[in-house]
Amino acid sequence: MTEYPPETHGERKKRRDCLGSWQARYRDASGQQKAKNLPTARDANAFLDKVRESVRSGTYLDPKRGNITLAAWWEEWWPGHTPERPTTRNRKLSLWNAHIKPKWGQHKLSSIRHTTVQTWMRTEVHGHATQVKVRELFRAMLRDAVIDERIAKNPLDAVTVTAPAPARHPDDLRPPTEAQYALIREAIPLWYQPLIDWAHETGMRWGEIVGLRLCFLDLDSAEAQVRQIVVDDKGKIVRQAMPKTVAGYRDVPLTSVAVGAAELMLERLPASSARTEVSEGLCPEEVVFRGPKGGEMRRLQGAQVVLDGVLRGNNFRRRVWIPTIKEVGLARLIKDPKTGREEYWPRFHDYRHALASRLHAQGVSEKDVQLMLGQERGGRVTWLYTHGSEGAADRIRTALEGASGARHLRAVS
């Protein structure tokens, strides 16, 4: 039909006796009969020998199962691997839609090769963190394709991340000094000063602070329990029972400053002490740290609604935090030369870094700091959160010189 098309040689019936080619017929591992057309008898016999050997050794793969496109495989794979955490789920969806699907969605699983993926990773996927996450997702998809007996091996196993980890200047990693934090607190709108004091004294994550409920706060015992958080799910704030890690379930000791901040916030906007289930929804009336419009009546689309007042991270950063650090002259724009992403220093999250450094400087053990911050392993606290404290150079110099003065070098031969 290909060599003698009907347009030039007239219509004729299709035949099934394989005239002009050879058909290799065989049975797969399940006993079903399969067939493949090949141009010569030598090719057909060679194919049969290969298939029979793979069936006997248990390595047989049906070629048709590998002909599914990556996009079709995603539709089968994703429902069984959808993360429960909204932030993780949204990040993986973004990686698929922005990076993997446009390039590889219409490729068959059996046609994806290591070399082409490695070239794509190096030339089209920019940024170290993006490459790491893209490779992780892509590799997981093809790993399960191997398990599902669609392809023989995973071409992503040998793909490497080529973008170097960004080398950030120490000034961009170091949290502000206590004097700089005092400037921020003085300039920030009065409503948010208790929030700033709480972050400075507890080192809690943003989602843990704005998700703190009165039922998990014991001001008499000066202790806050981290049991629930709120997260942003594509612009919608949702309540979640699980913190970032298992270690996130913890009891945080409160200083007098933190207790005063919570008392002031509750005096301005009282919260309910009810203990509702996550399945009951956001229940914003139970949250301790809310925005100034919490509880206000507002007419929207002809209906009266009560504003929840739950703080959104993006809104707070854009409308409160960045204007404040600009006002006091601390804001410094940091731009990633590879990806073009921009962020301002200092970040709200730096309160967490600053607290770890303060505790470390006071001689608090790494294990205790780990429990305070809710980290899974202590070593992470040291290399990620602790930074050199003020006056470190003088203390180091004094320690090296010793109490009795500097030691002299002695030459030996």
State pLDDT tens for residues 133-155: 999 999 999 999 998 888 888 99
Same domain, 240 and 135: no
> Is residue 394, in this structure, part of any structural domain at all?
no
Is there a single domain that holds both residue 140 and residue 206? no
Domain C-terminal end among 351, 368, 396: 351
Q: Of residues 272 and 20, which shows the higher confidence score?
A: 272
Same domain assignment for residues 191 and 337: yes
Nearest to 205 by CA among 383, 373, 379: 373
Most confident region among 13-17, 285-289, 366-370 by mean pLDDT = 285-289
What mean pLDDT value characterizes the chain?
A: 83
Strand 250-253 with 223-226, pairing: antiparallel
Q: Is the residue at 21 inside a domain?
A: yes
Examine the domain organization and report whether 83 and 179 are in the same domain: no
Q: Give the closest residue to 320 by CA, choosing from 236, 195, 177.
A: 195
Q: Are residues 103 and 140 in the same domain?
A: yes
Beta bridge partners of 303: 300
CATH number, domain of 177, equals 1.10.443
Report the SS3 class of residue 403. coil
Helix (H) or strand (E) holding 250: strand 250-253
Whether 334 contacts 343, CB under 8 Å:
yes
On whether both 329 and 289 belong to a single domain, the answer is yes
Query: How far is the C-alpha of 154 from the C-alpha of 138, rounded, in Å?
Result: 10
Instruction: List all residues 6 or more positions away from 54 whose beta carbon is below 8 Å from its beta carbon.
Output: 60, 61
The 8-class DSSP code of residue 29 comes to T
For residues 190 and 96, membership in a common domain is answered with no
| Residues 288, 340 within the same domain | yes
Among the ranges given (89-98, 159-168, 219-228, 267-276), the one the predictor scored with the smallest mean pLDDT: 159-168
Candidates 127, 130, 167; CA nearest to 339 is 127
> Into how many domains does the chain fold?
3
DSSP 3-state assignment of 303?
A: strand
Identify the band that residue 66 occupies on the pLDDT scale cut at 50, 70 and 90.
confident
Check pLDDT > 90 for residue 187: yes
Q: Is 265 left (phi over 0), alpha (psi -120 to 50) or beta?
A: alpha
Q: Does the bond joining 83 to the residue before it have cis omega, within 30 degrees of 0? A: no
Judge whether 107 and 70 are in contact, CB under 8 Å: yes
Asked if residue 157 belongs to a domain, the reply is no
Confidence band (pLDDT; 50, 70, 90) for 403?
Answer: very low
Whether the pLDDT of residue 248 is over 50: the answer is yes
pLDDT band at 379; cut points 50, 70, 90: low
- In this predicted structure, which of 195-204, 289-298, 386-395 has the lowest mean pLDDT? 386-395
Q: 119 and 24, same structural domain?
A: no
Which 8-state DSSP code applies to residue 38? Answer: E
Do 246 and 315 belong together in one domain?
Answer: yes
Rounded CA Rg of the chain: 31
Model confidence at 385, in pLDDT bands (50, 70, 90)?
low
Domain membership flag for residue 368: no
- Full domain range(s) for residue 287: 170-351
Residues 332 and 311 in one domain: yes
Report, as an integer, the average pLDDT of 350-355: 89
Chosen domain end from 351, 375, 396: 351
Give CA–CA dist 323/325, Å, rounded.
6
pLDDT in tens, 26-57: 777 667 787 888 888 888 888 888 877 776 76
Instruction: Determine what percent of the chain is predicted with pLDDT higher than 70.
Output: 85
pLDDT at 408 over 70: no
User: Where residue 137 sits, what CATH number does that domain have?
Assistant: 1.10.150
Q: Is residue 375 part of a domain?
A: no
Domain match, 345 and 208 both: yes
Higher per-residue confidence, 148 vs 296:
148
Residue 397 has a pLDDT of 45
- Residue 207: inside a domain: yes
- How many other C-beta atoms lie within 10 A of the C-beta of residue 362? 9
Q: Give the pLDDT band (50/70/90) at residue 394.
A: low
Q: Could you tell me which residue, 395 or 372, shows the higher pLDDT?
A: 372
Q: Where are the alpha helices (DSSP H) in 114-242?
A: 114-124, 128-147, 170-173, 178-187, 193-202, 206-210
* Structural domain includes residue 362: no
Please report the pLDDT score of residue 153 as a whole number. 87
Q: Residue 153: inside a domain, yes or no?
A: no
Last residue of a domain, one of 331, 351, 371: 351
pLDDT over threshold 70, residue 204 = yes
